[in-house]
Amino acid sequence: MSVLYLDASAITKLVNAEAESAALLIAIRGNTLISSRVVVVEVGKAVARADPTVDPQSLLAHLAFVELDTDLAQIAAGTGSAALRALDAIHVASALRVGGEIAAFVTYDDRQASAAQSAGLTVASPR
């Protein structure tokens, strides 16, 4: 069993059926799933925009969370280039906090994937 870090773009694909959803489900099966606590807001909003009748809470209950605290906020502020969006920086910093346990950082966001790779993380986008 591996530990996978999932960002909001990946988690949203697990709630709303998208082109990559089936491949992602296969890739994560049997693994420990981790994300930043900020995905509760990100995924909640993304899912509500796509289909307000869907509740992502049952899926979110299967994740372990990295909490955003003062130290993590400072690390995220210095993560990536100035072009990296704040929430993307929080995700990369959260995965870095977990460290070597992470087998892959799962995202479908190209800018975030680039920042994660630059930070030394293995990036996956199952298709």
We report the CATH number of the domain holding residue 35 as 3.40.50.1010
Provide CB contacts within 8 A for 105, sequence distance 6+: 4, 5, 7, 91, 92, 95, 113, 116, 121, 122, 123, 124
pTM of the model: 0.96
Instruction: Indicate the number of domains in the chain.
Output: 1
* Domain residue limits at 97: 3-124
Q: What angle do CA 91, 50, 124 make, to 5 degrees?
A: 35
Q: What is the pLDDT of residues 56-103, one digit of tens each?
A: 999 999 999 999 999 999 999 999 999 999 999 999 999 999 999 999
Q: Could you tell me if 35 and 4 are in contact, meaning their C-beta atoms sit under 8 angstroms apart? A: no
Quick one: average pLDDT of 32-43?
98
